[in-house]
């Protein structure tokens, strides 16, 4: 069953970024760094932060 699960990591990064912004403030760069710390790739982190700010 796990083989059939293929999460959209960009969308997961957006959700995580939105979660962070709900309870604390981050600069765009700081949010990207936090998402990278959480294990997202630099590209996924940038995508998530950009979408959360828009």
pLDDT digits (tens, 9 = 90+) for 2-50: 556 788 999 999 999 999 999 999 999 999 999 999 999 999 999 999 9
Count of other CB atoms within 10 angstroms of residue 4: 5
pLDDT tier at 54, thresholds 50, 70, 90: confident
Q: Give yes or no for residue 1 having a pLDDT over 60.
A: no
Domain ranges of the chain: 8-53
- The pLDDT assigned to 44 comes to 98
| 8-53 topology per CATH | Arc Repressor Mutant, subunit A (1.10.10)
User: What is the pTM (predicted TM-score) of this model?
Assistant: 0.86
- The pLDDT assigned to 3 comes to 59
Whether 37 and 16 have beta carbons less than 8 Å apart is answered as no
Residue 42 CA: distances (Å) to CA of 23, 25, 37, 51: 23, 20, 10, 14
| Block residue for tokens 């995580």 | 16
CA-based nearest residue to 20, from 6, 41, 36: 36
């Amino acid at each position: 069953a796990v083989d059939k699960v293929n999460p959209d990591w960009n969308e997961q990064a957006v959700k995580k970024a939105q979660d962070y912004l709900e309870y604390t403030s981050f600069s765009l760069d700081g949010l990207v760094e936090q998402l990278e710390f959480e294990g997202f790739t630099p590209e996924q982190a940038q995508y998530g932060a950009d979408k959360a700010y828009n």
